[in-house]
Amino acid sequence: MPTYTAPITDQIFVLEDVLGVSRQDIPGYEDMDRDTLTAILDEAGKLASDVLNPLNPVGDTMGCVLENGVVRTPTGFKEAFDQMREGGWTALDCDPDYGGQGLPYVVATAVGEQFSAANMAFNMYPGLTHGAYSAIHAHGTDAQKEMYLPKMVTCEWTGTMNLTEPHCGTDLGLMRTKAVPQDDGTYKVTGQKIFISAGDHDMSENVIHLVLAKIPGGPEGIKGVSLFIVPKFIIEDGKPGARNGVSVGKIEEKMGIHGNSTCVMNYDEATGYLLGEEHKGMRAMFTMMNEARVGVGLQGYAQAEVAYQNALAYAKDRLQGRDVTGVKNPDGPADPLIVHPDIRRNLMDQKSFVEGARAFAYWGANLIDRSHRCDDAAAHGLVSLMTPVIKGFLTDKGFEMATNAQQVYGGHGYIEEWGMSQFARDARIAMIYEGANGVQALDLVGRKLAQDGGKHVMAFFAQVTDFIKETKGRSDSFDKDFREPLKAASKDLQAAGMFFMQNGMKNPNAALSGSYDFMHLMGHVCLGLMWAKMAVVAEDKLAEGAGDADFYKTKIATGRYYMARQLPMTTTHLRRIESGAETVMALDAEAF
Amino acid sequence: MPTYTAPITDQIFVLEDVLGVSRQDIPGYEDMDRDTLTAILDEAGKLASDVLNPLNPVGDTMGCVLENGVVRTPTGFKEAFDQMREGGWTALDCDPDYGGQGLPYVVATAVGEQFSAANMAFNMYPGLTHGAYSAIHAHGTDAQKEMYLPKMVTCEWTGTMNLTEPHCGTDLGLMRTKAVPQDDGTYKVTGQKIFISAGDHDMSENVIHLVLAKIPGGPEGIKGVSLFIVPKFIIEDGKPGARNGVSVGKIEEKMGIHGNSTCVMNYDEATGYLLGEEHKGMRAMFTMMNEARVGVGLQGYAQAEVAYQNALAYAKDRLQGRDVTGVKNPDGPADPLIVHPDIRRNLMDQKSFVEGARAFAYWGANLIDRSHRCDDAAAHGLVSLMTPVIKGFLTDKGFEMATNAQQVYGGHGYIEEWGMSQFARDARIAMIYEGANGVQALDLVGRKLAQDGGKHVMAFFAQVTDFIKETKGRSDSFDKDFREPLKAASKDLQAAGMFFMQNGMKNPNAALSGSYDFMHLMGHVCLGLMWAKMAVVAEDKLAEGAGDADFYKTKIATGRYYMARQLPMTTTHLRRIESGAETVMALDAEAF
């Protein structure tokens, strides 16, 4: 059975040594010194390894079951959720006014990485609740906030997001669910929503659904969509009272995340309460989009992390074949898999991705903190630009790496009992939900690049360029192994941006045909930047003789691998982008 | 529910227009004119679409069940197998001396593509039987051939291959199963074998296991391995008689191919008959390796083909969003997905891969025919070189494309009911079995490149170079769209080969660290060559005003896409290869 160990040293390295969290001037950050961070991550890690991780295969095998209208979660989930609640883990970065602990989002992100790696399907229950919490926190009336938030902070009541309908996913303007205003100021919500994660279950007293619906007579399409709070049990005197008109149609059979109840939800004149303004439902949803999408990006690399940990253990343990350069395990019948260069290549791909991805995701979370807690418009703009890259790139690569980890096991990787298949199957959804990755690419190229006159992408380019300037002449090895490759990759990125500027205006398809490649190109540049920054820190630490030299040497070696073996993908992405729309759009739809 | 339509026009295009099967001087080919091929593929296509394909989700959902020592296959499998037998489909390329039809292997490959696409798990039952048939045909005594082959040609008796044991997969020298000689010339076989596809089931009278085992006192390691025929029921008077000492330990729970019974097989003093010579078991297995591995490569792109067909249908049908260049479906609430450039990119990736892969696989099958039927050593050498590429590249890309097809469906792609998950889950195994793809890369770079003094790889390079020379000056468009990109890609391939020659001798790891990239680099060059050849044929057909002009134009457009968007990967592969072993092997095993 797979195991999981929270990579606390690596997490602290990014939080404290690279980002310098405790030295950043953001409210709440000042208390986050190395000891405090270590204490938090250590405790979270125990919950992840000892409680959540053993339930991961249980959730996969048992799944959720709908019986007489009631959803039963897998054995042990409820007890684990109680432990999570009691430990205060659901309240980590929530508002102290509603019972939260007020810790930085970046710290909650590090904890979330652990929980997601240990049990992705499980962690979606508090994860979705947090999303709904954020929406009510940002757009609710004081009365709504007082009514719902304290219970959602503790996850005594959990939350959901209801967007998709059978005939519309990305194109929410086609939505049919309607909300009819009543004399008492409430609405009657009627319609069917699908793919509702954590839609119903037996682990909380109440489920607070956030539902997108159209008020009859409102504007056509996406501009006529409003957001409603539809509790499973209507709140009476602060407690769940009468059953509302919402029921589970069925639980979907999915490729993975079986431990999470993905429901078809039927609303039949359910009582709903407007959240925010009429017809401004999409705006309310978008408020929490950056955070939600960063959270999905995190799921992507978290699955890669846990899959990597197990693949590594297997590669060290499994004896098969001999090292071509000389026997390494003369007393055994064969050498461990890890002696073989192609196994190394595979493991280094995984390792260098996961560690780079972690730095990238934490950097994004840090920007979200800066945006929310310091009202920093530049940080907000930059993280908005980065969000589709964090979501799209980290989930694509996360799935790829989970699949690669499965490959290390040979035939055993395909057998469910060994658990590697689950990592790949679970990771697969992250490429799809919260906006399929093609939609992320469209958001990036069609919207974010040009946002505020292209200011944010220019700011990002400037960050990279400044870094390259600042690190000039550090050392020959840094120059060759990090600085030059980063420079070349960022040149590719800028060339791609230039191609879009020159061609996208007269032919939008010329840009959109390259959108997916651009998302990946930018992802590689971001990870390249992260690795170069990590290398600088590691080199400095080594120079000052700090701590564990082997740790920093390993960091540099892992970074060098990424720069040499992964970053060159930017060239191919650029080539594809520059080939434009012509070959992509050459065929009529009928000719396919 | 997904559907499948045999792509007969595309298949005939490769067989007849590109390969010119009926014009090739190979025994059995002369009868394979366009009409005959069409008739065969048409009939096979009906079986695939009407019988096998509807059973694909049935097999996935029901799986195989072990009850009181008996394996039950999913509902409908037995009847379908009867239909397949009655149609003579199991006997297609088998030896007429034993009841086979003696058709070319390349034709059986085209039929196999259809059956695999329609139902991969199902088609493994006759597929494994064919492998066992080939081994007995090549190495059996006359008595053995007469005893087993006629029944295996009809699949009244099916076959299996027993190689892997719990502690050894790739490294078969570690094998523990033993075969103790008896006075009557038979052997008592004892041991446990795992991952035995089609290991047992209720669709045939008998199962003929081919089992690798060690005769006590023989040479150590791989040189002491022999191959045995171990029938489930011992043959008495030409009929299955007494039960042999072989039983099913369990059926493995797998990620996919649930319709195939993957068994743990326990041998307990089972009576075995030596096949071929003592201690020459590996040689006997290798005889059929090229064929078996080409067959797995075929599974890879066949899953991509059927996944593509369904993704395409969904992209034409599903209305979501509007074409940014102008509304395409003004009467509907939205435009079909296929208007969006990123959906096109995805579909074109799939289409251009599948069609290129088909040409590559048929070319390989054609070389196998030439090697077997004409004793052509050059063809044998070339296909031996190509085999790991066909297996490794086509299954890696096949899985990737099946995953991409799933992505077109958005959330529905993740729901089992829609069937796209099954294609990805089924395709995943092809990267693992019959030698994991890392082992294919090792075989290619560590063995095949240097085989016979590098003669075969030089012959391949010469083929590409000759083609580039011959097509000089055809037309500006061919030059720009096909010839130049192929030239650049083949230059990358030769540079990679040169790097290995210059570095691999003094440091084998320098070559082996790049083996996986080399396998993919070579795969791209092969598909590039196939596309360039297909474009030549299509251009010529257009010039002579033959047949369906739209078909040939679409071929050229699809090929141009491959050359512009996929082939540039060679650059990145070369960059990785040339970065050598240093970053790959930098870390001690303990430092990971």
pLDDT for A493 beyond 80:
yes
Is residue B533 within 8 Å of residue A349, measured between CB atoms? Answer: no
Is residue B71 within 8 Å of residue B232, measured between CB atoms? Answer: no
Distance CA A571, CA B282 (A): 43
Distance CA B574, CA A93 (A): 46
Which residue from A minimizes the CA distance to B485? A575
Task: Report the candidate in B495, B482, B479 with the shortest Cα–Cα distance to residue B567.
Answer: B482
CA-based angle A177:A180:A182, to the nearest 5? 150
In three-state form (DSSP H/G/I as H, E/B as E, the rest C), the secondary structure along A334-375 is CCEHHHCHHHHHHHHHHHHHHHHHHHHHHHHHHHHHHHHHCC
User: Cβ contacts (< 8 Å) between B571 and chain A: which residues?
Assistant: 568, 571-572, 575
Catalytic choice (A16, A355, A400, A434): A434
Answer yes or no: do A334 and B174 touch at CB < 8 A. Answer: yes
Task: Report the candidate in A417, A421, A404 with the shortest Cα–Cα distance to residue A352.
Answer: A404
User: Cβ contacts (< 8 Å) between A421 and chain B: which residues?
Assistant: 254-255
Which residue from B minimizes the CA distance to A323? B509
Beta-carbon contacts below 8 Å between A and B: 259
Answer yes or no: do B584 and A345 touch at CB < 8 A. Answer: yes
Percent of chain A at pLDDT above 90? 96
Three-state DSSP class for residue A540: helix
Confidence (pLDDT) at B157: 98
Which residue from A minimizes the CA distance to B341? A513
Is residue B407 within 8 Å of residue B358, measured between CB atoms? Answer: no
Answer yes or no: do A438 and B169 touch at CB < 8 A. Answer: no
Active site residue A434: yes
Three-state DSSP class for residue B72: strand
Catalytic choice (B156, B434, B544, B590): B434
Shortest distance between the Cα of B409 and any Cα of chain A, in A, equals 9
User: Cβ contacts (< 8 Å) between A565 and chain B: which residues?
Assistant: 576, 579, 583-584
Query: Percentages helix, strand, coil for chain B, rounded to the nearest 5?
Result: 60, 15, 25
Read off φ and ψ for residue A339, nearest 5 degrees: -70, -20
Read off φ and ψ for residue A391, nearest 5 degrees: -70, -55
Answer yes or no: do B164 and A553 touch at CB < 8 A. Answer: no
Three-state DSSP class for residue B243: strand
Answer yes or no: do A341 and B581 touch at CB < 8 A. Answer: yes
Distance CA A537, CA A533 (A): 6
Cross-chain CB nearest to B320 (options A169, A195, A558): A169
Answer yes or no: do A432 and B410 touch at CB < 8 A. Answer: yes
DSSP characters for A31-87? T--HHHHHHHHHHHHHIIIIIIHHHHHHHHHH--EEETTEEEPPTTHHHHHHHHHHT
Distance CA A132, CA B553 (A): 52
The per-residue pLDDT for range A66-93, each reduced to its tens digit, is 999 899 999 999 999 999 999 999 999 9
Answer yes or no: do B438 and A336 touch at CB < 8 A. Answer: no
Is residue A239 within 8 Å of residue A265, measured between CB atoms? Answer: no
What average pLDDT does the structure give for chain A?
Answer: 97
Distance CA B525, CA A505 (A): 35
Task: Report the candidate in B179, B174, B177 with the shortest Cα–Cα distance to residue B220.
Answer: B174
Distance CA B128, CA B163 (A): 13
The per-residue pLDDT for range A338-369, each reduced to its tens digit, is 999 999 999 999 999 999 999 999 999 999 99
Answer yes or no: do A438 and B338 touch at CB < 8 A. Answer: no
Which residue from B minimizes the CA distance to A315? B589
Cross-chain CB nearest to A576 (options B252, B342, B568): B568
Task: Report the candidate in A518, A393, A376 with the shortest Cα–Cα distance to residue A446.
Answer: A518
Confidence (pLDDT) at A288: 75
Which residue from A minimizes the CA distance to B439? A342
Confidence (pLDDT) at B567: 98
pTM: 0.98
Which residue blocks in B446-566 are alpha helix, DSSP H? 451-470, 476-478, 484-504, 508-512, 515-543, 549-561
Answer yes or no: do B255 and A421 touch at CB < 8 A. Answer: yes
Confidence (pLDDT) at A52: 98
Three-state DSSP class for residue A580: coil
Distance CA A514, CA A516 (A): 6
Q: Which residues contact B342 (CB under 8 A, 6 or more apart)?
A: A438, A441, A442, A512, A513, A515, A516
pLDDT for A218 beyond 80:
yes
Three-state DSSP class for residue A267: strand
Shortest distance between the Cα of A453 and any Cα of chain B, in A, equals 20
User: Cβ contacts (< 8 Å) between A589 and chain B: which residues?
Assistant: 316, 336, 338-339
The per-residue pLDDT for range A258-284, each reduced to its tens digit, is 999 999 999 999 999 999 999 999 988
Q: Which residues contact A288 (CB under 8 A, 6 or more apart)?
A: A131, A134, A135, A138
Confidence (pLDDT) at B313: 98
Cross-chain CB nearest to A333 (options B174, B312, B348): B174
The per-residue pLDDT for range A199-209, each reduced to its tens digit, is 999 999 999 99
Calculate mean pLDDT across residues A530-544: 97
Which residue blocks in B220-288 are alpha helix, DSSP H? 281-287
Residue A184 vs residues A190, A272, A273, B535: alpha-carbon distances, Å: 17, 11, 10, 70
Calculate mean pLDDT across residues A395-407: 98
Answer yes or no: do A325 and B508 touch at CB < 8 A. Answer: yes
**Quick count: other Cβ atoms within 10 Å of Cβ A330?**
8
Three-state DSSP class for residue A274: strand
**Domains assigned to chain B:** 8-139 (1.10.540.10), 157-280 (2.40.110.20), 445-584 (no CATH)
User: Cβ contacts (< 8 Å) between A403 and chain B: which residues?
Assistant: 399, 428
Confidence (pLDDT) at A505: 87
User: Cβ contacts (< 8 Å) between B586 and chain A: which residues?
Assistant: 557, 560-561
Confidence (pLDDT) at B288: 75
Answer yes or no: do A564 and B583 touch at CB < 8 A. Answer: yes
Which residue from B minimizes the CA distance to A559? B583
The per-residue pLDDT for range A148-193, each reduced to its tens digit, is 999 999 999 999 999 999 999 889 999 999 999 999 999 999 999 9
Choose the mutation target among B513, B587, B588, B590 for the interface with A, i.e. most A CBs under 10 Å.
Answer: B587
End-to-end C-alpha distance for chain B, whole angstroms: 45
Choose the mutation target among A222, A518, A572 for the interface with B, i.e. most B CBs under 10 Å.
Answer: A572
Question: ipTM surpassing 0.85, yes or no?
Answer: yes
Three-state DSSP class for residue B188: strand
Shortest distance between the Cα of A143 and any Cα of chain B, in A, equals 35
Distance CA B418, CA A254 (A): 10
Shortest distance between the Cα of B390 and any Cα of chain A, in A, equals 18
Calculate mean pLDDT across residues A227-251: 97
Distance CA B556, CA B567 (A): 15
User: Cβ contacts (< 8 Å) between B416 and chain A: which residues?
Assistant: 253-255
Shortest distance between the Cα of B483 and any Cα of chain A, in A, equals 16
Distance CA A338, CA B508 (A): 16
Choose the mutation target among B196, B584, B588 for the interface with A, i.e. most A CBs under 10 Å.
Answer: B584
Answer yes or no: do A553 and B591 touch at CB < 8 A. Answer: yes
Task: Report the candidate in B586, B591, B583 with the shortest Cα–Cα distance to residue A548.
Answer: B591
Task: Report the candidate in B499, B495, B517, B361 with the shortest Cα–Cα distance to residue B438.
Answer: B517
Farthest-apart Cα atoms in chain B, separation: 83
User: Cβ contacts (< 8 Å) between A165 and chain B: which residues?
Assistant: none
Cross-chain CB nearest to A568 (options B508, B575, B591): B575
CA-based angle B28:B33:B34, to the nearest 5? 145
User: Cβ contacts (< 8 Å) between A417 and chain B: which residues?
Assistant: 252-253
Percent of chain A at pLDDT above 70? 100
Which residue from B minimizes the CA distance to A409? B432
Read off φ and ψ for residue A542, nearest 5 degrees: -65, -40
User: Cβ contacts (< 8 Å) between B403 and chain A: which residues?
Assistant: 399, 428
Confidence (pLDDT) at B286: 81
pLDDT in tens, chain B (592 residues): 899 999 999 999 999 999 999 999 999 999 999 999 999 999 999 999 999 999 999 999 999 999 998 999 999 999 999 999 999 999 999 999 999 999 999 999 999 999 999 999 999 999 999 999 999 999 999 999 999 999 999 999 999 999 999 999 889 999 999 999 999 999 999 999 999 999 999 999 999 999 999 999 999 999 999 999 999 999 999 999 999 999 999 999 999 999 999 999 999 999 999 999 999 999 888 877 778 999 999 999 999 999 999 999 999 999 999 999 999 999 999 999 999 999 999 999 999 999 999 999 999 999 999 999 999 999 999 999 999 999 999 999 999 999 999 999 999 999 999 999 999 999 999 999 999 999 999 999 999 999 999 999 999 999 999 999 999 999 999 999 999 999 999 999 999 999 999 999 899 999 999 999 999 999 999 999 999 999 999 999 999 998 899 999 999 999 999 999 999 999 999 999 999 999 999 999 999 9
Distance CA A581, CA B325 (A): 12
Which residue from B minimizes the CA distance to A170? B320
Is residue A294 within 8 Å of residue A109, measured between CB atoms? Answer: yes
Is residue A159 within 8 Å of residue A131, measured between CB atoms? Answer: yes
Which residue from B minimizes the CA distance to A410? B432
Residue B286 carries which side chain, given as an amino acid letter?
F
For B23-177, strand residue ranges (E) read 65-67, 70-72, 157-162
Cross-chain CB nearest to A255 (options B343, B416, B513): B416
Shortest distance between the Cα of B435 and any Cα of chain A, in A, equals 9
Shortest distance between the Cα of B282 and any Cα of chain A, in A, equals 16
Q: How many CA atoms lie within 13 A of A257 on its CB side?
A: 30
Shortest distance between the Cα of B220 and any Cα of chain A, in A, equals 11
Confidence (pLDDT) at B290: 79
Read off φ and ψ for residue B70, nearest 5 degrees: -110, 135
